A and B are shown apart, each in its own frame.
Chain A
C-alpha cells in the first residue's frame, strides 16, 4: 500500500513537471512567432528609437574614426569584436546593415531599443545578454559610428 502511494506521488510530480515544461516551450515558440511577424521592416530604413533622429554623413573622417576606435576599445570591446560574434554581434560592416541613426540610438538608448525596437528585440532574443548602457555622450557615439564606417564586412 505504502509503495503504491509513493509511486502515485512520484507519478503526479512527474506529470505536473512535464506539464510545466510543455507550457514553457509553448510560450517561447509564441514569442518567437510574434518576433518573426514584426521583423519585416527594411533595416536600412529603421532609425531606431532615441535621441538621434537624423544624421547626414559625408566622407569618412579618419581622425574621428581613430578617436572612435579608442572609445570603442574602452567602452565596447569587452562585448563586441569587429571580426567575429562575441557576447554581442560582430560589427564589421555594420554600417552596411543598419542606418547610422539606428546604430547611434542603440549605443545611446539601449534599454528602450531592446524593449521596443523590433530589430533590437530580435538581437536580444538571439544573443540573450541585453546591450549595456555605457553612458556615452552623443559625440562619443558619433566617433564610434565613424570608426564603424572604416571597417567593411569581409
Chain B
C-alpha cells in the first residue's frame, strides 16, 4: 500500500477518537471553588468534570439569569453522524481514491469543523446573553449595557468573580492530528503521483 493511502486511512480513522474522548472543556474557577467546576463537551453529550459540576454551574448561573445547560442539544444528533460518515468516507477515499480526493476530504472536513465551531459560538453567545429579565442580579457594563456572561470560545476570560477557561480536550486533538495526517497524505500522494 502506498504511504499516502495509509496516512489518509489512519488520519480518517483517528476521527473516531471523538466517540471516546471529549472534544472540548469549559472550566470555571473562583476562590470558593478550590476544586473548579467543569464541563466536558463530547460530540454527543455534556459531561461533568467532577460529579454534579453541571448541576452546580446551573445553580450558580441562575442568579444572573442564565439558562440551564440543556440535557441534550440537536447538534448531538448530527455530530456523531457527521463524524462517522466523514471517517468512513476518508477510509474509503484512502482505499480507493487519489490524492486530489484527499484534499477534497480535508477541505470538506475543515468547513464542517468551522461550521461546528461557529455553531458552538452561537450557542455560547445565547447562553451568555439570553438572560432572564427577572434575574436576581443584573450587572451592567461600564457603558451601561447589560453585562453578558459568555464563556470564551478558546482561551481564558474573567467573568465577575470567576475565571473561565475554554480549551480543546483529547477528542479534539485526535481530530486535529487526524486532519493533519490527511493533509500530509495529500502532499505525499502528490509526490507519489509525480514519481
Determine direct contact between A and B, CB below 8 Å: no
**Residues of chain A whose beta carbon lies under 8 Å from any beta carbon of chain B:** none
